[in-house]
Amino acid sequence: MPVNPDEAARTIEVLPERPAVPRPAPTPEMRRRAWFNATLAAALLVGVSFLLVGTALTVGRFAGKNYQDARRTGTAAIERCSLRGPVTLNGFGYHDRCTVTATWETGETVRVTIDKPGFFDDGDRVGDRFEIGENPGGYSRPGTAERSWVRAAAWAVGLLGLLPLLAAGLYLRPILHVTRLG
C-alpha cells in the first residue's frame, strides 16, 4: 500500500526543542530542611531496626538446647542470682543471671555463670539443686525442648531488622558527602 507523502508529512510533527529551564540554587534553608528530614528518617529507621533486632533476640531465647544432646550431665547448685533487664543484649524483658556450681557425673566440679534468658524458672532460688547438661555453646535442663523453628524465626526477624539499618545508611550517605578515594 503506497503512502501519500503529503499525508505522511501531516502526521509527523517535529516539536521545537525546548530550552532547559535552570533550577534555582538551593537556599541554606532548603538544605537545612533536607538535612533535617533525612536525619529524622534515618533515626526512625535505626529505631525500627533496633526494635526488630531486639524482638529477634527476645524470640530466640525461647529456643532452648536439648538435654538429651548434652555431652555430659550432672547436678548444679545455685549460688547467687541477679535480675537483668529490661533491655539487654539478650532482648527485651527481665531474666536471671545466676552463678552455679555444677558437679558432673565424672566428679569434676566447675563454677559457671549462666546468663541465658529462660534457663531459670521463676521458682528457682539460691541453694536449689537441679539437673544440668553441657551442650556445645551452652547448658541445658531436662524438660527444655529444642525449638529449631523458633531459632529460624528469630534469625529471619533479625535479618529483616538489618534492612532498615541499611536504608538509614543510604539516607545519610548523600548528606555526609561520602566520597571514594583512589
Q: Show pLDDT as tens, one digit a residue, over the chain (182 residues).
A: 556 666 655 566 666 777 777 777 777 777 778 778 888 888 999 999 999 988 888 777 777 677 778 889 999 999 999 888 887 766 777 878 899 999 999 999 999 998 887 788 777 888 899 999 988 878 888 876 667 788 888 889 999 999 998 888 887 777 776 555 55
Spatial distance between the Cα atoms of 182 and 145, rounded to a whole number of angstroms: 54
Per the CB < 8 A criterion, the answer to whether 59 and 88 are in contact is no
Per the CB < 8 A criterion, the answer to whether 54 and 145 are in contact is no
Spatial distance between the Cα atoms of 52 and 75, rounded to a whole number of angstroms: 37
Spatial distance between the Cα atoms of 121 and 113, rounded to a whole number of angstroms: 16
Domain that holds residue 40: 31-60+152-176
pLDDT of residue 77: 94
**Domain membership flag for residue 74:** yes
Nearest to 57 by CA among 119, 150, 136, 140: 150
Query: 139 and 81, same structural domain?
Result: yes
Spatial distance between the Cα atoms of 98 and 114, rounded to a whole number of angstroms: 5
Spatial distance between the Cα atoms of 134 and 100, rounded to a whole number of angstroms: 13
Query: 100 and 168, same structural domain?
Result: no
pLDDT of residue 145: 62
Range list of β-strands (E), 9-94: 72-84, 87-88, 91-92
pLDDT of residue 99: 93
Q: Going by DSSP bridges, is the β-strand pair 72-84/95-104 parallel, antiparallel, or unpaired?
A: antiparallel
Number of structural domains in the chain: 2
pLDDT of residue 80: 93
Spatial distance between the Cα atoms of 179 and 182, rounded to a whole number of angstroms: 10
Q: Report residue 100 as a C-alpha cell.
A: 552455679
Query: 138 and 73, same structural domain?
Result: yes
Q: Is 0.85 topped by the overall pTM?
A: no
First to last CA, the chain: 61
**Domain membership flag for residue 2:** no
Per the CB < 8 A criterion, the answer to whether 71 and 134 are in contact is yes
pLDDT of residue 10: 59
Query: 111 and 46, same structural domain?
Result: no
Query: 95 and 49, same structural domain?
Result: no
Query: 138 and 80, same structural domain?
Result: yes
**Domain membership flag for residue 39:** yes
**Domain membership flag for residue 156:** yes
Reduce the DSSP state of residue 40 to 3 states and report it: helix
pLDDT of residue 92: 76
